Amino acid sequence: MTIAVTGSTGALGTLVVDALAEHVSLDQVVALARDPQRAAHLGERGAQVRTFDYDRPEDLAAALHDVTDLLLISSNAVGQRVEQHRAVIEAARATGVGRIVYTSALGASDTSLNPVAPDHVETERLLADSGLDHVILRNGWYSENYLSELENARQYGAVVTSAGDGTVASADRADYAAAAAAVLTTPHAKPVYELSGDTAWTFEELAKTLSAVTGADAEVRHVSPDEHREALRQAGLPEAAIEFVVGIDAAIARGELGATTGELSALIGRPTTPLHDTLAAAEQG
Ligand SMILES: NC(=O)c1ccc[n+]([C@@H]2O[C@H](COP(=O)([O-])OP(=O)(O)OC[C@H]3O[C@@H](n4cnc5c(N)ncnc54)[C@H](OP(=O)(O)O)[C@@H]3O)[C@@H](O)[C@H]2O)c1
């Protein structure tokens, strides 16, 4: 078995390599990196480091020659990533990779309001059409997405949201990484996993947790989507980022990120990390 991980220099990819080390020897792991120097620390720990730039499709197959299981961590290049994922899937097919495991988004569907859903739906289609054996990990929200609220709580005492009474079943990145490692080292996985935290929190609960962790007195300010856009504009965000943030809150308001499926804790064999613990660990540095 040779397991390759794309995006191994990223936050999730690094944690996946850590989690794989608990299942297999790292000489069975290939850390794929656009800049191999950034993955040098993984090489020092025994992983094979290979150059892998999604934007150089002609070079991808060579890096996958002996790979049995490939984790395709979705690219962060929004707007280009479907083409990047297509190049990876084609290279995997050309070289005879046995199985692709892909990190998608919780509840990704054609009707989702989540702005990240369309790229994931399209990539899932590419995988289905490829004929390759594949597993979809539909990852819910990272709790780390809310680390910037620590500063907002301290500075403004407020969490601004247009998500209404929607909830978020977030989990720590390390939980999703452990799940990916478990699936990569399990030959008979399910075709699709909907992965999320064990607890779905409201924004009132987020504010309470921020207050407990920072000592500030943070409150939720519920706003309409248009008021949210205006607040973000005044904070200096570019229009595309504003639509992204408001789109995510619309998806949360509709319940798209609140499902507590239990599949993540089942895969990792322990409860998922509570939001409090992720925020407190970041606060303590
Ligand atoms: N579920 C959630 O809450 C959530 C939140 C944010 C993102 N995501 C998704 O989950 C993915 C992983 O999250 P993360 O936190 O690990 O993101 P990240 O830290 O931004 O890592 C992204 C990885 O993609 C690599 N990459 C970007 N362009 C590439 C290219 N042209 N060729 C090869 N590699 C390339 C980066 O390499 P470099 O080190 O060279 O830049 C990096 O290793 C993200 O990319 C995004 O699709 C999910």
- Asked if residue 185 belongs to a domain, the reply is no
State which of 117, 139, 161 marks the end of a domain: 139
Residues 6+ apart with CB under 8 A from 204: 220
Asked if 165 and 102 sit in the same domain, the reply is no
According to the model, what pLDDT value does residue 79 have?
A: 87
- Residue 157 C-alpha to ligand 1 middle, in angstroms? 31
Residue 82's domain comprises 3-139
- Residue 49 C-alpha to ligand 1 middle, in angstroms? 17
Ligand 1 pocket member 53 (CB < 6 A): yes
User: What is the domain-level CATH number for residue 277?
Assistant: 3.90.25.10
Asked if 131 and 149 sit in the same domain, the reply is no
User: What is the domain-level CATH number for residue 111?
Assistant: 3.40.50.720
Q: What is the pLDDT along the chain (285 residues), one digit of tens a residue?
A: 999 999 999 999 999 999 999 999 999 999 999 999 999 999 999 999 999 999 999 999 999 999 999 999 999 998 899 999 999 999 999 999 999 999 999 999 999 999 999 999 999 999 999 999 999 999 999 999 999 999 999 999 999 999 999 999 999 999 999 999 999 999 888 999 999 999 999 999 999 999 999 999 999 999 999 999 999 999 999 999 999 999 999 999 999 999 999 999 999 999 999 999 999 999 998
3-state secondary structure 26-71: HHHEEEEECCHHHHHHHHHCCCEEEECCCCCHHHHHHHCCCCCEEE
According to the model, what pLDDT value does residue 188 have?
A: 83
CA distance 62 to 283: 43
- Asked if residue 181 belongs to a domain, the reply is no
According to the model, what pLDDT value does residue 110 have?
A: 96
According to the model, what pLDDT value does residue 59 have?
A: 95
According to the model, what pLDDT value does residue 187 have?
A: 85
Ligand 1 pocket member 7 (CB < 6 A): yes
- Asked if residue 177 belongs to a domain, the reply is no
Closest CA to 213 of 254, 170, 265, 274: 274
- Asked if residue 186 belongs to a domain, the reply is no
Structure tokens at 29: 């792991």
Domain count, the chain: 2
- Asked if residue 129 belongs to a domain, the reply is yes
Ligand 1 pocket member 141 (CB < 6 A): yes
According to the model, what pLDDT value does residue 178 have?
A: 98
According to the model, what pLDDT value does residue 61 have?
A: 97
The ligand 1 atom at the shortest distance from the C-alpha of residue 35 is 40
